[in-house]
Structures are given as structure tokens and as C-alpha cells.
Chains A and B, each alone.
Chain A
Amino acid sequence: MPAFTPPPLPSDDKRWKIVNGTMRKNGFARYALIETLHTVQSSFGYLDDDAIRFVANSLRVPLSQAYGVVTFYHYFSLKPPGKHTVTLCAGTACYIKGSDKLIAAAEKRLGIQPGQTTRDGNVSLMTARCVGACSRAPVALCDGEVAGEMTSEQVLEQLERWTVE
């Protein structure tokens, strides 16, 4: 049986080398699928068809299986994120402290549902299951920064700042 040669990189974008690095580190083993998808998402922000195809081919995982993994785990996204992302935690402690009001306020202001991005690509609205900052509930992540004890007004102010930019 001829030795396996991984497929060529999809483009000369340097980020593919980082992705390839993760796979090489794991000896192109199938179990590296989730690890590699994490690298793709952290490098490119999301997973598109080309990326899934490339990873699946490189690791000799059926495309159906790779797609199955991508859609099974909430952390993976098939859509590019907006310029800014506000993630509102919907964990139990945040729910008890009224995170539903924060989510409703953001939905109303942005005119989108959680998981969507505004049409101009400026803001993505996400919800999280729990970010582990429960003692300061309700919690929001504004571009990854944890902000605790949030009010609807504070969320709207943040959204306003991003719109003005």
C-alpha cells in the first residue's frame, strides 16, 4: 500500500500552515479531527466548506463524519462572525438573575436572533451555556472580555459604542 500523502494546502494563506501543524503534531491521526477544527476556527473565525473538506481529506475521515462533528458541537460555527461579538450567558445563575431580559433587549436593538449577525456584518449576537463566571451573574462577553452584573442598559450602551465606531 502506498504511503499516504496529505492533500496540498487550499491556498497560500499562512493560516493553513498553522492548521496543518496541528495535524502533523498528531501524526495525521483521525482522533485529531476536533483538535484540528479548533485550530481552523481560532485561525479563521469559523469553519467553511473548504476548510472542512481539507481537514477531512488530510485526516482520511469521511466528509459526512467531519460534517457530523462540526454540527454536533455548539462551539463550532459555520458562519463568519461579525466584527464584534456580544455573548450573553444563559446559564442557570444568569437566568435566575434575569439574563432573559438582556437577551431580549439585545435582540430588539439588533433586530436579530441569537446565533445571527447583523446584516452589515458589524455585530454577532450569541448566547452561551455558561462561562463559569456565575458569581457575577448576569454575565456578558463583549469581544471575549468578561463583564459581570450586567443590566440591559449596559448591554445596549456597549452595542451603541460598536455602532458609532
Chain B
Amino acid sequence: MTIEELEQIAESVRLENGKFDYEVNVCMDLACSSQGSEKLREALVKAAEESGKKVLVRRTGCMGPCSSGPLVRVDPEETLYRHVKAGNAEEIVASLGGSPVPSLQCDLNEHFGSQVRVVLENAGYIDPEKIDDYISRDGYKALLTVLTEMTPKGVIHRITESGLRGRGGGGYPTGLKWGTVAKSSGDLKYVVCNGDEGDPGAFMDRSVMEGDPHRVIEGMAIAAYAVGASKGFIYVRAEYPVAVARLTTALREARRRGLLGNGICGTVFNFDVEIRLGAGAFVCGEETALIASIEGRRGTPKPRPPYPAMSGLWGKPTLINNVETYANIAPIVRNGGKWFFNMGSERSKGTKVFALTGKIAHTGLVEVPMGIKLREIIEVIGGGVPDGHTFKAVQTGGPSGGCIPVQMMDVGVSYDALLKMGSIMGSGGMIVMDDTSCMVNVARFFIEFCMTESCGKCIPCRAGTAQMYTLLTRICQGVGTMDDLELLEDLCSTVKEASLCGLGQTAPNPVLSTLKYFRNEYIEHIAEKRCRAGVCNIEARVEVTA
């Protein structure tokens, strides 16, 4: 495969697509497919055949606004239809060439207005099972450019220059990490993609792996060239069977096209990727635990140093990045580090994909430039809190993050700003809560999660989260005391300071942030035996015991 051949493939795809007058794209992501988008696609194919019009019906990855699904976009007009049923297929096909179907049309200009698509640039535009679709949108161009025109040092320089930071949550500078692995000695090195999206409430990585799998593979191959690795692993949750299937297909296609394997693009560069399945352990998102899991062992973390960059998988230097980090690589190589550096805020560059869920009008995936105000994400892009309820808090960072209250809504989203507010960027889950959510109960929910997911290796996390859970349960039941609250705060700092890995070190965050911003709710539970959201149902409990 050479760049010329790549361009030929892209050209033939364009020619093929040019034979059609219209393109009807059907979103097949989980939210849409669970509402019958496959039946809808079949109906569209049938209607198109019967109409005699030249229509290309394409299955695509997530288009974004899942709450309006099943979604259909008609090109070249870019008309977006929402809540489309199989029964609407005929009217959609009939409308092609005329004016759009008004009853199905959705106006999401505000929703899309402030979004910038880098990671999701292909989502909704390509068939994830067709490598040629990806190639037609500049796919693998970055890899071939890197292999033929750039030195590994040059690649690392470009990534460093871009200011990209790890999208898995920690925000470690990607270029620096790559540089460390590149400098580590040893002829055998590994590149690992962390697709163990364990944060409940986050599904960006699933969507990228399912909707644009080649983007991840290309990013990994570029990374492998830069650090001198020849073998890669994608670690995916077993709970994501579609992602596993799409990645398997993508890897096979990439090998067939000579974009993986030995002597890629006529160079001496060899690289191939294997998929490893997770088995349902949140702690495996931690890199040393993930390594243990790939090696077939229990996913228990190890103290660092040594960092995986020095001694990782089977003791070899290993580069571990998250799905979204790899998904950013190809565009950075194509457009230059400066292009990426110019997007975003001072110390957080580029864009970030968020999974917007909870009590919000438009749930789904959004990609926004770093530094955008939380208010804009929630009120403009997300359409605000529905059903006349009032917005209370937004939770970011999953069980390692915190709840950000309404008074902080004008802060711009960046790694540092979120950390300062007592939360973290995390992998990108954003769960909106309204007045029907009890913040004490929310804290208890997350601590219960961390308690069950604690691997049990170190005592602060294993015993600490269990004790915190007991205390929070007492408070929720209306039998907690002010001493319990003091003990809870004390435990928070012990677990935070003394735990071995990120799981324990961040487990108290949901408690600390709710204590910081919603302390009055804790006091109400303790002193007044009252839960203002009506979730804890204390009055009923107290009556029963009395």
C-alpha cells in the first residue's frame, strides 16, 4: 500500500458514491438500534429500490443526539430526521429531490452549533465495517505519511507540540508519555489501547470503537512507529460485544489492505494488534491492573514506579493510552500540532467528547472545544433540564469524579478547572441531576460502586470504602449523627491519601464534592430527618421503627 494506492481507493469510493443522487444515512448505534433502526434501514433499502431513484442507504455510527433516535440524515442536503420508524421509509424516499418531510425534521441547530468535531468527524458519515469508507475520508493517510516522511522523533514532536493530554481521565501529556516509552531500552515494546470504559454513564469510547474503529487502529499504529513497538493490544469490555465485533472486522480489513502486518507500506515497520476482552472489573481501567488482566491474571494494581512506560506488559516498555487519545492522533498528524494547539483552553487543548445523560433534554454524544462553559453544554447543547424541574448538579468523572453545582456553571471545562472544583475530567461522562436527586444518596451510590469494585489489595480502599458506605447508609436512613459525618470526612482523607491506586485515591471524590457543595442536605438528613428530594424516604422509615 502506498499513498497513491490509498488515493486510488478514495477516488473509487467517491466515483461509486457519485453514482447515487442521494445518500440516506441511518444511525445504527446502540440507542438507535435498540429502537429498530435495522428494520428501518431495510425498509429504506426496499423503498429506494421500488422508487427507482438512485439512493445509497448507509449504516453509520452514532450521530450524536441519541434522545431523538432513531436518526436518519439525508445528504447532500444534510436534512436530519428524528424518531424515524420503518413506516416512514416510503415518505422519506418520496421526498428526495423535493422538500423534506416536515413532521420528521428536527431542528438541532443549537445542539450542533457550538460543537467541533475532531474525534467524531466520521461518525454518521461512514459505514464502520467498510475500510474504504474510512480511507475515502483521509483514513490511513496520516499513517502512511508518518511511515514514509517522518522520523519517530518527528512524530513525537508533533504530538508534543499539539498539547494533547490523555483522554482517559488523568490528563497526562501524551507526547511526554510517548517520549518516555521511545527512550526506554529494549527491542520488544507494546502499545495498548485502554477500551475498558468502566465509568458508568460514559459511552464515548464504545461509540468511537463501534462507529469509527479504524481511527483507533491508525492512532495505535502511528504510536507504535513513534515509540518503536511492533505489537498492540486493544483491551475492550466484554459488555461491548458490538465494539468487539467491529474491531475484529476492522483489524481483518486493515490486514487485508496491508495496513497492518509485516513491512507496512513497503517499509521495515511491522505492527499488528490483538483484541483482549475485559471481564467486568472497573479497576482494570487502572493501567497496571489492565496489564495484569491482559496477562491473564486478576486485575490488581501494582505500586508505581516502575511505570508501564519502563516496565509494563510482560516486563517490557508499554505505552497505554485511552481510545479517545488514539482517535485524536491521525487528525493531529494530518493537520499539524499547531492546528490542535489552537483549539481549546490554555492548558487543555483540542476537543473533548462527552456523553451527556441524566435529566437533560438532548441526551447523547457531544464534542466540544475545551474551555467551553458548562452552562453552554447543559443549557444550549443539551437543551436544559426537562419537565419543569430545576437543575441541581452535573456529575463528571464517574466514581472518581464529583458533583458540580449550579453556581459553578460558568466555569470553562478543562482538566485543571474540573480538578479545582473537586471533580475530574474523567473519560467524559456528564450526568445531569435535577431537584429529584438526593446528593447524599448519590454519594452513597458511588461509594457502593467503589466498595464493590475495590480489588481488595490495599486496606484503605477495601475497608475504607465499606465503612464509608455504612456511614452514608446510616445518614440516608435518618439514623446518622454529626459524629458520623465527622468520621466520614476523616475516612475520606485516609482513603484518598493512603490507597494504592487511582480507584481508592479518587473514591472519596463524590463524597467530598457533595459535602463541599451540598453540606446542608447532609445536615437535613441528620438533624431534621428530612430528604428534600424525597429519595431517601426517611419519614416512612422513622414511622416504621417508631
Q: How far does the Cβ of B445 sit from chain A's closest Cβ, in whole Å?
A: 6
CA gap between A133 and B239 in the complex, in Å? 11
Q: How far does the Cβ of A18 sit from chain B's closest Cβ, in whole Å?
A: 15
Flag if A31 contacts B201 (CB, 8 Å).
Answer: no
A105 proximal to B (CB < 8 A): no
Q: What residues on A are CB-neighbors of B297 within 8 Å?
A: 33, 65, 69
CA gap between A37 and B279 in the complex, in Å? 10
Q: What residues on A are CB-neighbors of B88 within 8 Å?
A: none
Interface residues on B, range: 35 or more
Flag if A131 contacts B239 (CB, 8 Å).
Answer: yes
A72 contact from B202, B298, B357, B449, Cβ within 8 A: B298
Given known contacts A31-B295, A69-B298, A96 and B437 CB-to-CB distance under 8 angstroms: yes
CA gap between A90 and B448 in the complex, in Å? 11
Q: What residues on A are CB-neighbors of B455 within 8 Å?
A: 72
Given known contacts A92-B429, A96-B358, A128 and B239 CB-to-CB distance under 8 angstroms: yes
Flag if B34 contacts A31 (CB, 8 Å).
Answer: no
Q: What residues on A are CB-neighbors of B514 within 8 Å?
A: none
Q: Which residues 45-80 of A have a CB within 8 angstroms of B?
A: 61, 65, 68-69, 72-76
A132 contact from B30, B33, B280, Cβ within 8 A: B30
Q: What residues on A are CB-neighbors of B359 within 8 Å?
A: 96-97
Flag if A74 contacts B281 (CB, 8 Å).
Answer: yes
A147 proximal to B (CB < 8 A): yes
Flag if A35 contacts B277 (CB, 8 Å).
Answer: yes
- The stretch from A6-14, A134-142, A155-163 touching chain B is A134-142
Given known contacts A128-B239, A146-B34, A147-B34, A34 and B203 CB-to-CB distance under 8 angstroms: no
Q: How far does the Cβ of A65 sit from chain B's closest Cβ, in whole Å?
A: 7
Flag if B240 contacts A132 (CB, 8 Å).
Answer: yes
B282 proximal to A (CB < 8 A): yes
A83 proximal to B (CB < 8 A): no
Q: What residues on B are CB-neighbors of A93 within 8 Å?
A: 200-201, 357-358, 363, 429, 431
Q: What residues on A are CB-neighbors of B363 within 8 Å?
A: 93, 134-137
Flag if A146 contacts B30 (CB, 8 Å).
Answer: yes
Flag if A133 contacts B203 (CB, 8 Å).
Answer: yes
Q: What residues on A are CB-neighbors of B358 within 8 Å?
A: 92-93, 96-97, 137
Among A61, A75, A94, A137, chain B packs the most CB atoms within 10 A around the CB of A75
Q: How far does the Cβ of B387 sit from chain A's closest Cβ, in whole Å?
A: 12
A82 proximal to B (CB < 8 A): no
B368 proximal to A (CB < 8 A): no
Flag if A91 contacts B295 (CB, 8 Å).
Answer: no
Flag B332-371 by CB within 8 Å of A: 1 or 0 each: 0000000000000000000000011111000111000000
Given known contacts A34-B277, A92-B398, A93-B431, A148 and B296 CB-to-CB distance under 8 angstroms: no
Given known contacts A93-B200, A93-B357, A135-B66, A148 and B280 CB-to-CB distance under 8 angstroms: no
Given known contacts A69-B296, A130-B239, A146-B30, A35 and B276 CB-to-CB distance under 8 angstroms: yes
Q: What residues on A are CB-neighbors of B201 within 8 Å?
A: 91-93, 130, 134
Q: What residues on A are CB-neighbors of B279 within 8 Å?
A: 34, 37-38, 73-76
CA gap between A32 and B446 in the complex, in Å? 33
Flag if A31 contacts B30 (CB, 8 Å).
Answer: no
Flag if B31 contacts A136 (CB, 8 Å).
Answer: yes
Closest A residue to B399 by beta carbon equals A92
Given known contacts A96-B433, A148-B31, A132 and B203 CB-to-CB distance under 8 angstroms: yes
B60 proximal to A (CB < 8 A): no
Flag B178-209 by CB within 8 Å of A: 1 or 0 each: 00000000000000000001111111001000
Q: How far does the Cβ of B519 sit from chain A's closest Cβ, in whole Å?
A: 21
Flag if A133 contacts B30 (CB, 8 Å).
Answer: yes
CA gap between A107 and B446 in the complex, in Å? 22
Flag B421-455 by CB within 8 Å of A: 1 or 0 each: 00000000101110001000010011001000101
A134 contact from B298, B299, B355, Cβ within 8 A: B355
Q: How far does the Cβ of B255 sit from chain A's closest Cβ, in whole Å?
A: 16
Q: How far does the Cβ of A14 sit from chain B's closest Cβ, in whole Å?
A: 22
B463 proximal to A (CB < 8 A): no
Flag if A148 contacts B35 (CB, 8 Å).
Answer: yes
Flag A77-114 by CB within 8 Å of B: 1 or 0 each: 00000000000001111111100000000000000000
Q: What residues on A are CB-neighbors of B449 within 8 Å?
A: 129
Q: How far does the Cβ of A126 sit from chain B's closest Cβ, in whole Å?
A: 11
Flag if B200 contacts A133 (CB, 8 Å).
Answer: no
A119 proximal to B (CB < 8 A): no
Q: How far does the Cβ of B493 sit from chain A's closest Cβ, in whole Å?
A: 24
Q: How far does the Cβ of A24 sit from chain B's closest Cβ, in whole Å?
A: 15
CA gap between A61 and B240 in the complex, in Å? 28
Flag if B294 contacts A95 (CB, 8 Å).
Answer: no
B238 proximal to A (CB < 8 A): yes
A17 proximal to B (CB < 8 A): no
CA gap between A135 and B30 in the complex, in Å? 9
B328 proximal to A (CB < 8 A): no
CA gap between A104 and B39 in the complex, in Å? 33
Flag B256-287 by CB within 8 Å of A: 1 or 0 each: 00000000000000000000111111100000
Flag if B296 contacts A135 (CB, 8 Å).
Answer: no
Flag B292-327 by CB within 8 Å of A: 1 or 0 each: 011111110000000000000000000000000000
Q: How far does the Cβ of B465 sit from chain A's closest Cβ, in whole Å?
A: 15
A135 contact from B293, B364, B442, B445, Cβ within 8 A: B364
Flag if A134 contacts B203 (CB, 8 Å).
Answer: yes
Flag if A148 contacts B364 (CB, 8 Å).
Answer: no
B160 proximal to A (CB < 8 A): no
CA gap between A38 and B244 in the complex, in Å? 13
The 8 sampled A-B contact pairs (Cβ below 8 Å) are A31-B296, A33-B296, A34-B277, A73-B298, A92-B429, A93-B201, A132-B239, A132-B240
Residues of A within 8 A of B (CB): 30-35, 37-38, 61, 65, 68-69, 72-76, 90-97, 128-137, 145-148
Rank and list the top 5 A-B pairs by shortest CB-CB distance, nearest first. A91-B200, A73-B279, A135-B66, A75-B280, A92-B201
